[in-house]
A and B are shown apart, each in its own frame.
Chain A
Amino acid sequence: MKTGYYPGCTLKTKAGNLERSAIHSMAALGIEMIELERWNCCGAVYSLADDDLIHLLAPVRDLIRAQDQGFDRVVVLCSMCYNVLARANLLMREDEVKRDAINNFLEEENDYNGEVEVVHLLNVLKDDIGWKKLSDSVKRPLTGLRLAPYYGCTLTRPEEISIDRGISPKIFEEFIEALGATAVSWEESETCCGSYQIISNPEAAKETVSRIIGSAVNREADALILSCPLCEYSLGNRQSDLIESESDLHEIPTFYFTQLLALALGIEPEESKFDLNTDSAREWLSEKGLLASVEA
């Protein structure tokens, strides 16, 4: 089965580990992800000003590309891109006035009325593959690992574009259990990592990150699992900065959900580009024996 796929900018650089591990895993599960041609940056945040249509052009153009290339859906991995594309799509379906204005402005493109479905990869795993088949495909069950799912903000809010229930979603937990690991129940799974404040107000973002890591440590999580490159940057790459000032916290490794999926499916670890994760994440993998190949 083939499906259209929108990577977004960060997956081509800093988050190459999210992209590669996903493509290899999905191929192993029988789904070929075909990258959209001529995609552009979605804008990273959905335009919230009612009179601002200009920032909707970028995501809508991506959706038009998907439609032109014959895809009835587009799969997204990055949480922020998912949010922007799904919200823009919803607007094109529901707001006739804005839809007409955008279509008129993009006169060189085909008209678009929200025909394409925007789906996050977790939904493909749940709805197309199914947890049962996924768990049957696991070659290296992650038994004994306590993994804390981190939804962050953009996968489940606002509710109309949520990948699961808006309040107390369970899809991430179900995914973790399908890999044979234990999903940790913790307070911070649906909170915000600080998002763009890591640039504008880094002190505030540090406080947020320290609260999130503190909660995961308290719940004795072995690792934090996420889907957003900005969360990975703040909670992963920058985590050690804050641990210096918070002596009672120990470091906790962070991974993209697709990286653990790839490991569980027995895909060679090189395909998941763990070199882009932190040193401590790699050390943890090797301690757990997860960097060795799975015997055929």
Chain B
Amino acid sequence: MPITISTKTVDREFTKKIEEISGEPLTKCMQCGTCSGLCPVEATSDVSPRKLIHMVTLGQREMVMNAKFAWLCVTCYLCELRCPRGLDIPKIIEATRQVKLRSNENFIEPFEIETVMELPQIAMVSAFRKHTA
């Protein structure tokens, strides 16, 4: 996916916002791809964690907000365990989710879940925490 960069598409405020919410200094990322190599959902997603970080760093708000990746991430911390730059990648991904959730948009609708009776509480609490506003 080519990234077109122009003054029109770069949103510096967005980059700043993600850095603020995550508390992670994005410029530390050296784009080595170690995180992507370890990520269990990368293969079936549209972008990888490395690419997502790149898009955030370049202020590509639209692209980041339209990517499915952050909503498929399972916060398994495999990426963080081996990032040579010590970045807490799941926190960066969480920040991109938060931008949507904080504008009061849900990713899942609690009332549409059919299997509620059989689900363990931790499944519901964690899914609502991650995917609802």
Chain A residues within CB distance 8 Å of chain B:
8-10, 13-15, 41, 43-45, 48-51, 55, 78, 80-81, 153, 157-159, 166-167, 190-192, 194-201, 204, 207-208, 229-230, 232-233, 237
Chain B residues within CB distance 8 Å of chain A:
20-23, 40-41, 44, 71-72, 74-78, 80-82, 88, 90-91, 94-95, 98, 107-108, 113, 115, 118-127, 129-131
Chain B interface secondary structure, helix, strand, loop or mixed? helix
Tally of contacts, chain A with chain B, CB under 8 A: 124
Chain A residues, CB < 8 A from B130: 45, 196, 200
Report yes or no: B122 in contact with A8, Cβ–Cβ below 8 A. Answer: yes
Report yes or no: A200 in contact with B120, Cβ–Cβ below 8 A. Answer: no
Instruction: Determine which of A157, A208, A233 lies in contact with B119 in the assembled complex, contact meaning CB atoms within 8 Å.
Output: A233
Nearest B residue to A229 by beta-carbon distance?
A: B120
Alpha-carbon distance between A55 and B128 when the two chains are bound, in angstroms: 13
Nearest A residue to B23 by beta-carbon distance?
A: A50
CB distance from A296 to the nearest CB of B (A): 36
Chain A residues, CB < 8 A from B77: 153, 157-158
Nearest B residue to A208 by beta-carbon distance?
A: B40
If A43-B129, A201-B72 touch, does A207 touch B44 (CB 8 Å cutoff)? yes
CB distance from A251 to the nearest CB of B (A): 18
Report yes or no: B125 in contact with A48, Cβ–Cβ below 8 A. Answer: no
Given contacts A43-B129, A80-B126, A233-B119, 18 further A-B contacts (CB under 8 A): A10-B120, A10-B121, A14-B120, A14-B121, A44-B126, A48-B75, A49-B21, A50-B21, A51-B21, A158-B88, A167-B82, A190-B78, A195-B75, A196-B130, A197-B74, A199-B113, A204-B41, A204-B72
